[in-house]
């Protein structure tokens, strides 16, 4: 049995619709203690850049979070390479 098209869809063109175009990740409000000098720094920077200070704090934390992942994997690779080199040179003696 074939489904009938709904009357609500008649006359609407959905061919260019982008799914989730306006979806944004939900924000989580948390109370975290920040030192006064950190808040002052971001407030001052926020005034210069015409952004809310908490947006700048989020951007900074996100950059740190994304930067941490490659560094951790790089450190692990370097440790492995160094261990292999030490083992190889130790075996040659």
Q: Is the pLDDT of residue 86 over 90?
A: no
pLDDT tens, position by position, 66-82: 877 777 787 788 888 87
Is the pLDDT reported for residue 42 higher than 70? yes
- Given a contact cutoff of 8 angstroms between Cβ atoms, the answer to whether 53 and 43 are in contact is yes
Whole-structure pTM value: 0.51
- Overall average pLDDT of the 11-37 stretch: 83
């Amino acid at each position: 049995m074939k489904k009938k098209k709904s009357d609500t869809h008649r006359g609407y063109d959905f061919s260019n619709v982008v799914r989730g175009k306006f979806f944004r990740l939900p924000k989580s409000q948390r109370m975290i203690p920040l030192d006064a000098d950190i808040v002052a720094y971001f407030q001052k920077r926020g005034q210069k850049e015409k952004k809310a200070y908490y947006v700048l704090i989020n951007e900074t934390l996100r950059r740190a979070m994304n930067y941490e992942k490659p560094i951790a994997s790089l450190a692990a690779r370097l440790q492995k390479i160094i261990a292999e080199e030490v083992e190889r040179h130790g075996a040659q003696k």
